[in-house]
Structure 1
């Protein structure tokens, strides 16, 4: 049991209708892609469209929820054993890989960048355009840094795994022009990122990433809400 005090802040997102049961969180993943080719590390971030009901106009990392196609998508490299093992300790077998694939797919769809290696395989659904580029996902590039579950007080909830990858694992730093639902894309250092309008959990993950630069072996936090008063209580994965 964690002895750390709860982190209290206003839950973000449309509120749950009073009297209704809490919504079951959807499985999702997002990835922090880090560039180290300047004086300070920089992270890839994008601005969500103002019309979204969930976190409008906020800057986030690329990512999204699992699609059923992510369970059967081809890949060039698999998760590292320690990463796959961590997923399997907390999730049904196969879901961790699907989450990692979802993060890579969403990075392609939202930011036009590919964490991938050359390869050919038949793919369908949302993976068809990805595979058509002559690349397949590079799951080996990913590490887990944290997990967070959206509070019960909101109507849209996600059980999100936060991943990290080095930008050197991208096929190119040049992105496609159409970057989907993210209005703007930018590489920002951690100090610059903290000055952007961020969701609270994104702000926490930037701080976590900065700490992991100095200590890659630090425990990986698992952030869950009890209720509005108790706030988000961190434990460890």
Structure 2
């Protein structure tokens, strides 16, 4: 692990300690969730879409996050206009529970697309399927995974997908606020201090900066950083 990665993990560990020192919750099993890092690369510095969660949210209130949410049972059964790339689907099956099926992996991608539509009003359904929700997830990269540490009021095992607006012919100006997310903004991916972000979001944005420097195309089969908590400290593993 390099010094930058170690520094990120120290920040995550310290953030977890500060959040759990005042109030601890009973252990909770993390729920599968998905988030989509939508990237606008039409500017010199690529921008990512984030929105602010409301004050009443039990999980990450008043912070700017990527659109996303938990995987619903119906997501596993939703037909896709175009499926995940094989390399992405295969990677999603790694480091999972015994009962985790391929349908659940596909359901995570559907959940990310559904949440993008619900929270930012951006539809990933091609025009030929405009009469129903049938997303095109063929451009999704599996970018990162993070499990909320113990002691939080909500815990999620979140898979972060990433794709570019132009790949899906999305208009960045078409985003609209929702009940779940407001003040939606396209933030430069290196502007970590311009808005209040969860530390894990800052870490993933830092990973994105590095990944785009290494290969601006974001290869589909790239190694995926996996963040989780073990023995009192955050761990950065690779999938």
TM-score category (smaller protein)? 0.7 to 0.9
Does structure 1 residue 223 correspond to structure 2 residue 227?
A: yes
**SS of the counterpart of 1:99?**
helix
Asked whether the equivalents of residues 222 and 234 of structure 1 are also in contact (C-alpha less than 8 Å), the reply is yes
1:52 is matched with which residue? 57
**SS of the counterpart of 2:94?**
helix
Asked whether the equivalents of residues 222 and 236 of structure 1 are also in contact (C-alpha less than 8 Å), the reply is yes
Counterparts of 1:1-12 in structure 2, within 5 Å, are 5=6, 6-7=9-10, 8-11=13-16, 12=19
CA RMSD of aligned residues (A): 2.3
Q: Which protein is richer in helix relative to its size?
A: 2
2:108 is matched with which residue? 99
Structure 2 gaps of 5+ residues are none
1:30 is matched with which residue? 35
Length, aligned pairs only: 220
1:184 to 1:153, Cα distance in 2 relative to 1, 3 A = same
Q: Distance in 2 between matches of 1:10 and 1:192?
A: 20
Normalised by the size of structure 1, how large is the TM-score? 0.84
Does structure 1 residue 175 correspond to structure 2 residue 174?
A: yes
2:183 is matched with which residue? 184
Asked whether the equivalents of residues 114 and 170 of structure 1 are also in contact (C-alpha less than 8 Å), the reply is no
2:117 pairs with one of 108, 112, 115: 108
1:39 is matched with which residue? 44
Does structure 1 residue 207 correspond to structure 2 residue 215?
A: no
Q: Distance in 1 between matches of 2:171 and 2:82?
A: 18
Structure 1 gaps of 5+ residues are 121-130
The Cα offsets for residues 191-229 of structure 1, whole Å up to 9 and x where unpaired, read as 3343210101001010011011012466321111025xx
Asked whether the equivalents of residues 58 and 153 of structure 2 are also in contact (C-alpha less than 8 Å), the reply is no
Counterparts of 1:48-197 in structure 2, within 5 Å, are 48-91=53-96, 92-93=100-101, 94-120=103-129, 132=131, 136-168=134-166, 169-175=168-174, 177=176, 179-197=178-196
